[in-house]
Structure 1
Amino acid sequence: MQFKRRIGLILLWLAPFALAFAAANKNDPYLVVLRGAGNMTLVAVSIAIAIVLLRRGHWRRCTGRLLVVLWCLPPLLMSAAHLRFELRKHDVLHASRVEARQLGPHFIVGYSSFSEVAPLAEQGLIGGMYITRHNIRRRTVDELRIEIAALQDKRRAAGLPPLIVTADQEGGIVGHLSPPLTKVPALATLAELPPEQRKEKAEEFGRTHGRELAALGVNLNLAPVLDLKPPVRRNRLDFHTLIGQRAIASDPAVVGEIASAYVQGLEESGVGATLKHFPGIGRVRTDTHHFAANLDTPVEELEASDWRPFKEVLARSRAALMVGHVTLTAVDPDRAASHSRRVVQGILRDKWNYQGIVMTDDLVMGAIYQHDVCRAVLEAMNAGVDLLLVAYDGAQFYRIFDCALEASRQGRLDVTALGASETRLGRALLATEP
């Protein structure tokens, strides 16, 4: 009994520190599971324990007063965090028309509810949306289709270009809208088939995805994966990238062949493709969803292997290109490729003469978000990245857009780069219109 009492006393002193940390960081993507009911429970528990301590007379002792204060901290810190979020949100929603029209087209945002995303779409604060499993949970395909159409109607009424509507339908373990959409096998399952058969099946997979996504209102699929299959097992802390299960093959020729056929099937259905994750994460053992990662391979070796599928598919299609949050150390050791001018402008635009759409991987991923995300946003836009993706936690859009807003107001955005990007986006939108 004495032992249990000591444990309880220790927890009584330690718990408020843990709750205070969670409260102060309530808007962090890692704590998204606590939003709503979780936050309310945290506040209620803290206040209840503080009241119990007061009623039991702890306020009369010095240590007791300290304990009561500690249990009052979580609600106060949560209120402060919520106020910061609301002030930032207010600043974004009240951006001028000129600011919204200049910056908004460059952002793709995930969302949870129509009421949350409608003002962003209507005011031109975003250029597109990311649709995933929570958007279709407990809903029919028709309900989501009607919602997307309603948002497009708002865009037309406001005199704005159509939204780019994206989804993550790779096949295999990444098919965030399946079910209810058809669950297509991973493209990797085709690698061992005879060439003609795998080409035919890959086109069929692309047409299946394209037909269903187009019917829903999605016009850009974040697929296929062109990273080469890793030669060795990845780090045990790779919880989310799982590229070994998503990559098509280790042979660049096979990857290019299957991916080209898949993209052709998608485009025939009126849906664009997105090649990912340049400069390639097959050789990287670290999960960029959580940690920074380096790609230390010489450029000459990457040109001869990992980059061959990217070049091949880009030459045969209108595909967009997603740049990952891995640092290509031979080109730019100081920043991830997703916001490196040396990579985006130097390699993709100048060396490869690629003038299509370049987008970042999700900026909410730990490799970027847990560092200087404002620096990443500024550098990405100045590097000629066209679309910045805020997918996993759409609430982070306000922080990330505010970074761009502040940079614009301080005159740190490259207006020439933004103008060139606007032209590329305009061409892409015209190509997707029926």
Structure 2
Amino acid sequence: MRTKYLILIIAFAVSLAFGYGAAREYYNNSGDDPVSSPGPAHGSNTEQNTVDPIREQMKTMNLSEKIGQMVMAGIDGYEKDDHVQQMIGNYHVGGFVLLKQNIRDAKQMLSLINALKETNRVNKIPLFLSIDEEGGQISRVPDELIKIPTSKKIGEMNNSSLSYQIGSIIGEELHSFGLNMDFAPVLDINSNPQNPVIGDRAFGSDAGIVSKLGIQTMKGLHGQNIISVVKHFPGHGDTATDSHLGLPTVNNDMERLNSFELLPFSAAIKNKVDAIMIAHILLSKIDPDNPASLSQIVITDLLREKMGFDGVVITDDMTMGAILNSYEIGEAAVKSINAGSDMILVCHDYAKEEAVIKALQQAAETGLISPDRIDQSVYRILKLKQKYALSDQLVQIWDAQKINDQIKGLFEQFPSLKGRQ
């Protein structure tokens, strides 16, 4: 009888794993942020007897399902196709990223997102549905929405309340479409005038301003139940090469990184950031042999152990020239996971997405990636999905006017902002 009750308790706990409300922590330094509910007192019987629903969920997953959770894939075109069906049905991917070429207008975007969710109902775990929505030139939302100014323009105004409201409005935009993750804000410090890829995507060249405004934007996203993936660790600001085309080299030493590039990321970690994107850049004085996205020194030794980050680490797109010019994509994916990454982002080309999944599967089956290494990442991924109560519930109504009215209201509150678009 006792065994029977234990089984019932475990089953109930697993069923709740992805139905919890988005349990969020309030930060001590801002009244705008959500507050966590108090847990049981340390050492209480409740705590000692609690079954970890995530661990129980993982016990029901086979290796293919675990590997799938560690991959975020791109999509070809405007509609769900056979490749998407394969990614969901055969490979159980953890999420999808929508790019500009996937979005024609609001109606089509909503239809695509709902199709992804509906298809994924065959799986036990809801999808991360992500997008790059920074404002300015990196804006993927459809043209029915008024555009948000660049981070550079926000930085020039240097107003914490404005930054929070920008994050909140972007979060509401994404949430209204059924998305749950934003690859933003950019926490790079734009310190190199020759930088071809960061520029006005950064809040500026001052570490303090980037830290302050970036954290407020992150909190605004959180307030709308959107996961913020800050980027591009350990800092893409002092580069002169576009990592989409080649591998940038940063010659700064650890003393310089600690006093400058790492400051915004350290602030984000102190403010409970959930996920961090790793850049494809070479830190020649830290790890001269591996890009940061493939470097155990950068991801595990620096980010996790020294800086104390235990959230989800996502690579930048592995189809970028910085990686493919020197590595076979499957090889790079295995190196990145062993270095400490949790999710491999593959934005383009179904064949490359499949190659990554098969390489990870083979590496796991042969012991090149250990079971413990896989379980560490899968646990972090499932924990984040539970925290934000992700679901595959469809979105039926989308109200552009409501969101545009909020953006207009922001322009009225900050009149100089409109001229800075």
TM above 0.5: yes
Query: What CA distance in whole angstroms lies between the structure 2 residues aligned with 1:413 and 1:177?
Result: 37
Structure 1 pair 335/428, CA: closer, same or farther in 2 (3 Å)? Answer: same
Query: What CA distance in whole angstroms lies between the structure 2 residues aligned with 1:292 and 1:318?
Result: 27
Partner of residue 15, structure 2:
none
Partner of residue 59, structure 1:
none
Partner of residue 323, structure 2:
368
Does 2:222 correspond to 1:258?
no
Query: What CA distance in whole angstroms lies between the structure 1 residues aligned with 2:236 and 2:116?
Result: 35
Partner of residue 173, structure 1:
137
Read off the aligned partner of 1:114 and give its amino acid letter. K
Partner of residue 187, structure 1:
151
What are the Cα deviations for residues 7-35 of structure 1, in whole angstroms up to 9, with x where unaligned? Answer: xxxxxxxxxxxxxxxxxxxxxxxxxxxxx
Does 2:333 correspond to 1:333?
no
Question: Does the CA-based 8 Å contact 2:132-2:183 persist in structure 1?
Answer: yes
Does 2:262 correspond to 1:298?
no
Query: Displacement of 1:408 after TM fit?
Result: 2.6
Does 2:344 correspond to 1:378?
no
Query: What CA distance in whole angstroms lies between the structure 1 residues aligned with 2:310 and 2:316?
Result: 18
Partner of residue 10, structure 1:
none
Query: What CA distance in whole angstroms lies between the structure 2 residues aligned with 1:358 and 1:364?
Result: 17
Does 2:106 correspond to 1:141?
yes
Partner of residue 231, structure 2:
276
Query: What CA distance in whole angstroms lies between the structure 2 residues aligned with 1:184 and 1:119?
Result: 35
Query: What CA distance in whole angstroms lies between the structure 2 residues aligned with 1:213 and 1:394?
Result: 25
Partner of residue 26, structure 2:
none
Partner of residue 365, structure 2:
409
Query: Displacement of 1:110 after TM fit?
Result: 0.7
Q: Please, which of 79, 96, 99 is the counterpart of residue 132 of structure 1?
A: 99
Partner of residue 66, structure 2:
102
Question: Does the CA-based 8 Å contact 1:104-1:126 persist in structure 2?
Answer: yes
Q: TM-score, normalised by structure 2?
A: 0.74
Query: What CA distance in whole angstroms lies between the structure 2 residues aligned with 1:392 and 1:169?
Result: 18
Read off the aligned partner of 1:377 and give its amino acid letter. A
Aligned to 1:334, the other structure's residue is in SS state coil
Question: Does the CA-based 8 Å contact 1:227-1:247 persist in structure 2?
Answer: yes
Q: Please, which of 119, 128, 134 is the counterpart of residue 164 of structure 1?
A: 128
Structure 1 pair 141/178, CA: closer, same or farther in 2 (3 Å)? Answer: closer
Query: What CA distance in whole angstroms lies between the structure 2 residues aligned with 1:159 and 1:303?
Result: 42
What are the Cα deviations for residues 47-79 of structure 1, in whole angstroms up to 9, with x where unaligned? Answer: xxxxxxxxxxxxxxxxxxxxxxxxxxxxxxxxx
Aligned to 1:175, the other structure's residue is in SS state coil
After the TM superposition, which of the residue ranges 394-403 and 261-270 deviates more from structure 2? 394-403
Read off the aligned partner of 1:341 and give its amino acid letter. Q
| Number of corresponding residues | 326
What are the Cα deviations for residues 99-139 of structure 1, in whole angstroms up to 9, with x where unaligned? Answer: 421210011111023122123113343110011222222xx
Query: Displacement of 1:398 after TM fit?
Result: 1.7
Matches within 5 A, 1:75-86: none
What are the Cα deviations for residues 338-396 of structure 1, in whole angstroms up to 9, with x where unaligned? Answer: 01111111011111111111010000001102222333111111122111101144442
Q: Please, which of 129, 145, 150 is the counterpart of residue 115 of structure 2?
A: 150
- Max radius of gyration: which structure? 1
Question: Does the CA-based 8 Å contact 1:130-1:167 persist in structure 2?
Answer: yes
Partner of residue 347, structure 1:
302
Query: What CA distance in whole angstroms lies between the structure 2 residues aligned with 1:230 and 1:394?
Result: 36
Question: Does the CA-based 8 Å contact 1:223-1:275 persist in structure 2?
Answer: yes
Query: What CA distance in whole angstroms lies between the structure 2 residues aligned with 1:287 and 1:407?
Result: 30
Query: What CA distance in whole angstroms lies between the structure 1 residues aligned with 2:255 and 2:210?
Result: 19
What are the Cα deviations for residues 157-185 of structure 1, in whole angstroms up to 9, with x where unaligned? Answer: x2421100110001111112242343111
Does 2:283 correspond to 1:319?
no
